[in-house]
Chains A and B, each alone.
Chain A
Amino acid sequence: MSKVLMKGNEAVGAAAIKAGCRYFFGYPITPSSEIPEYMSKALPEAGGVFLQAESEVAAMNMVYGAGGAGARVMTGSSSPGISLKQEGITYAAGAEIPCVIVNMMRGGPGLGSIQPGQADYYQSTRGGGNGDYRTLCYAPASIQETVDYVMLAFDKADEYRNPVLIAADGMIGQMMEAVEFKENLNKNLPAKDWATTGTKGKREKNVVNSLFLEAEECEDHNLRLEKKYKLMEEKEVIYEAFGLEDAEVVCVAYGTTSRIVKTAIKLAAAKGIKVGMIRPITLWPYPYAIYKDINSNCKGILGVEMSQGQLIDDIKIGIEGRMPVYFHGRTGGMVPTPAGILAEIEKIAGGTK
């Protein structure tokens, strides 16, 4: 298939439909409103249903109902809206309902700003709702990656019977790039024989539920979920890394910020500073193991994020105290510049050579 030029938010919708998603429940919010706008036209054409819900809370609970009824279903929003969805996300995790949730992150806290942000990292990776649960979380850095990981997200949601998050910054939602839609993998996924479809008199009743009133039962359920999360940690980590063997400084960034960091790395190279990079593509599970590949003469790790420093916690876990960890971020909708990042790299490397 040839490439087409698409805006990120619209590409999210197109990728979802390509992946077999036929139901979308959402609520408008900047900078992700083009997702429901696109779906309101494209889903009926694909034989599906778009519904604008009365609230983010209701939208996510509609996703719960539809996912529990066996459908491929998605919702999309932006930071304050995603906060409201956390109730439905933890219920979906508890009841093991496959679904995809797209977050086009903006500046926070509270109503914050409508410009891009990455300050929902904790919320995305530590479980934004109550209880012991985890969600796979993809952080695309281009529209092509957005399309690829939205499509993969549906397969992974079905494979693990778990909600999957796409955590992109608002820039991804708003910019246009050329994309190619690959054929959906749809590899041997388990049948949804647990879904509520009506018994038709042919099987025992199915129950979709996250309640276990007996503590022993609830613990058993949580331990079973934990096994699933461990399997994701083993099998689903995705990252990009380069230059770790001889780097003087290693930068860690994801999403749009990672592209700005790559520019800064080129500027540093021109000044004779060797800078390596780790770019987590799954924010959870996190690529901790790759930190072992960083050479021991490296002077420090620099985390760069559109936040006041959330990713830095995972960098510290990954590096296990072997070298200093620094942070450079812009927040509230401001975007880090190559020059700003370069200045931090130079400080860590010990000045211009």
Chain B
Amino acid sequence: MTMVYEKSKGLTDVPFHYCPGCTHGVIHKLVAETLVELGVLEDAIGVAPVGCSVLAYKYFNCDMQEAAHGRAPAVATGIKRVHPENVVFTYQGDGDLASIGTAEIVHAAHRGEKFTTIFVNNAIYGMTGGQMAPTTLIGQKTTTSPLGRTVEHSGMPIRMSEMLATIDGAKFVERVSVDTPANIRKAKKAIKRAFECQIQGKGFAIVEVLSTCPTNWGYTPVKALGWLQENMIPYYPLGNFRDFEEDK
């Protein structure tokens, strides 16, 4: 019998706790496959955040540290400074990275820390039950913006990739989405490039992945993908904002 598809060795056999239709599973798979394909799984040290992916330390099949909320980039800094030869990554959501951990991500990028960040943006706090995130869109209803987010009250949703791309030390910045097979392939390519950026010692690398939260958005998985395409992509345009080849 021919093996046509195999679960990545970069993932453990622990079943995911993610909700049906949530795209964390796809993103985990892409990161795990990349670590294996680049031959760095045995050198990898990951940092899990606080949020839906808090249990990521159970899923990635490499050494892992669980960080305090938003502090993954500081924890990764500590690890990478001790083990510069290892491949270090953080996996963070939008509440973690774009709200409580903005100082840590901005300064890690600013120092050009040589680790890779996977930033999962689903425009909401999932783990705590659907509260407003800094990335929640205008008009989007959440449990802490029950009438819909307004500019007057909460400002515009924050665009982290555009902001981080202005920082010299951030050598690779790209926003991708996992809403279609084609986009998943592009996301994989960007994630690989972000790890190559680290392996080549270029500097800080981040991939922002637009993701769905069917449970807290209140949509079916399919409708959630449609909502991402119609609402998130127009505000959070996909594409590369920075590549280390430009800095030759």
Using a CB–CB cutoff of 8 Å, the interface residues on chain A facing chain B are 23, 25, 49, 51, 53-55, 57-59, 61-71, 73, 87-88, 91, 95, 196-201, 205-211, 213
Report the nearest B residue to A198, measured CB to CB.
Answer: B43
Asked if residues B78 and A67 are in contact (CB atoms below 8 Å), the reply is yes
Asked if residues A198 and B103 are in contact (CB atoms below 8 Å), the reply is no
Complex contacts, B41 vs chain A, CB 8 Å: 199
Main secondary structure of the interface of B (DSSP, over half): helix
B45, B65, B107: most-surrounded residue (chain A CB, <10 A): B65
Asked if residues A95 and B66 are in contact (CB atoms below 8 Å), the reply is yes
Q: List 29 A-B contacts (CB under 8 A).
A: A25-B78, A49-B81, A51-B77, A54-B104, A57-B71, A57-B103, A58-B71, A61-B68, A61-B74, A61-B78, A65-B65, A65-B77, A66-B78, A66-B79, A67-B78, A73-B78, A91-B67, A91-B68, A95-B65, A196-B64, A198-B43, A198-B45, A199-B41, A199-B63, A200-B42, A207-B57, A208-B65, A208-B66, A209-B66
If A55-B103, A198-B83 touch, whether A61 touches B66 (CB-CB below 8 Å) is no
Taken together as a complex, chains A and B put the C-alpha atoms of A198 and B64 apart, in Å, by: 9
Known: A91-B68, A199-B41. 7 other contacts (CB 8 A): A23-B81, A61-B67, A91-B67, A197-B63, A197-B86, A205-B63, A205-B64
Tell me whether B82 is interfacial, beta carbon within 8 Å: yes
Report the nearest B residue to A58, measured CB to CB.
Answer: B74
Asked if residues B62 and A205 are in contact (CB atoms below 8 Å), the reply is yes
If A61-B104, A200-B42 touch, whether A71 touches B64 (CB-CB below 8 Å) is no
Write out, one digit per residue, whether chain B residues 87-106 have a CB within 8 A of any chain A CB (1) or not (0): 10000000000000001101
Of all A-B residue pairs in the complex, the 10 with the closest CB atoms, nearest first, are A65-B78, A61-B74, A66-B78, A65-B75, A54-B107, A196-B63, A62-B78, A61-B71, A209-B66, A58-B74
Asked if residues A210 and B66 are in contact (CB atoms below 8 Å), the reply is yes
Complex contacts, B197 vs chain A, CB 8 Å: none
Asked if residues B65 and A198 are in contact (CB atoms below 8 Å), the reply is no
8 Å CB contact of A209 from B65, B74, B86? B65
Asked if residues A68 and B62 are in contact (CB atoms below 8 Å), the reply is no
Asked if residues B83 and A197 are in contact (CB atoms below 8 Å), the reply is yes
Taken together as a complex, chains A and B put the C-alpha atoms of A66 and B86 apart, in Å, by: 13
Complex contacts, B173 vs chain A, CB 8 Å: none
